[in-house]
Amino acid sequence: MANITLKNVRKSYGNNAVVHGVDADIADGEFIVIVGPSGCGKSTLLRMIAGLEIITDGEVSIGGRVVNNLEPKDRDIAMVFQNYALYPHMTVYNNMAYGLRIRKLSDADIETRVQKAAKILELGNLLQRKPRELSGGQRQRVAMGRAIVREPAAFLFDEPLSNLDAKLRVQMRLEIQKLSRELKTTSIFVTHDQVEAMTLAHRMIVMNAGRVEQIGAPMEVYDNPASVFVAGFIGSPAMNFMPGKIIESGMDIGENIQWALPPEQRKRFAIGQAVTLGVRPEHFTISAGLPGLPMRVESAEALGADSLIHARLAGHGVVVRVDGHARQANGEMLHVVPSPDKLYFFDTLSGKRL
């Protein structure tokens, strides 16, 4: 096991910069998830750590050793890819053992490591099968087994669950959580799925357009987003945003709809200041009448335990999470009240949390 440190890591292709100075300290045994939308640079960052991409600038160290100029095989890491990357002509056993044979380990050591990994991943009865005889979830477990037998200083996962169906993804998330607890090996997991990030990470690195927006524990990031981007990306459904401006009594969010802010919140802002109000769907309460913010229901999704109401409020699309047995008709007017202690304020121009 080892700690991983990134210092001002940058990547450019010609004049096109794709990763802009990433700094991060990953502790020994920590499970870090790098999360962000497609094209944000998360896989490129992972590949630089692995040695599959040349670092344009900055420094990557693993276990206190700078690895910028080391080949991937010399970095003491093991990688699990999105597409499994199994040898189709080899059995499960040989897929897991191949890398150890290349490293010239003894047959006895190979047998011990493969059987140990097979037991952890419940692959014991599949060792003589070929990849074509396995399900997607089983193939991904073989790919993880091939990484485990290396006994590396760190595991690197590049969107390993993307090719699985929804049910299998849930199952594999649980298996990866269990694996992390048992092996206690430093791990970096890349995904665009914020649910995977929330459920797997000790800490997450939220990336946007090649830059780190925020680093923190999942619930810390959820409860205290640093920017509009983070607030909108982490959480499902996303946070609701209502741009407006500060007035004497509180905030004007458009269409002559005004919301009185508690004095301790109101005094933080200047009259006329452009502010974006953020409210998570679960932090609205439907009011039996006035006062409240009026919204017109456009549609509703019944999800069982709860329902999502899609509506228009002051010209903005909003989503409100309510009890699953509540029923609202399309076009119905409702009044909602945001929880005063769950209001988020962002600078409209920069998007940063105020």
Q: Which residue ranges make up each domain of the chain?
A: 4-233, 240-347
Task: For the chain, list the strands marked E by DSSP.
Answer: 4-13, 16-26, 31-35, 57-62, 65-66, 77-80, 154-158, 186-191, 203-208, 211-216, 240-247, 250-252, 258-260, 274-279, 284-287, 293-302, 306-313, 316-323, 333-338, 344-347
pLDDT of residue 1: 66
For 9-54, write each residue's pLDDT tens digit: 999 999 999 999 999 999 999 999 999 999 999 999 999 999 999 9
Specify the CATH number of the domain 240-347. Answer: 2.40.50.140
pLDDT of residue 114: 93
Cβ-based burial of 257 (10 A; exposed 0-12, middle 13-18, buried ≥19): middle
Cβ-based burial of 350 (10 A; exposed 0-12, middle 13-18, buried ≥19): exposed
pTM: 0.90
For the domain made up of 4-233, give the CATH fold: Rossmann fold (3.40.50)
Q: Round the CA-based radius of gyration of the chain to a whole number and report it.
A: 24
**C-alpha to C-alpha distance for 41 and 58, rounded to whole angstroms:** 15
Of 72, 89, 219, residue with least CA distance to 150: 72
Chain centroid to Cα 130, Å, comes to: 32
Of 273, 31, 261, residue with least CA distance to 155: 31
Phi/psi zone of residue 111: left (φ > 0), alpha (ψ -120 to 50 degrees), beta? alpha
Phi/psi zone of residue 315: left (φ > 0), alpha (ψ -120 to 50 degrees), beta? left
For 175-200, write each residue's pLDDT tens digit: 888 888 888 999 999 999 989 999 99
Query: Which positions of the chain have pLDDT values less than 50?
Result: none
pLDDT of residue 290: 60
pLDDT of residue 307: 87
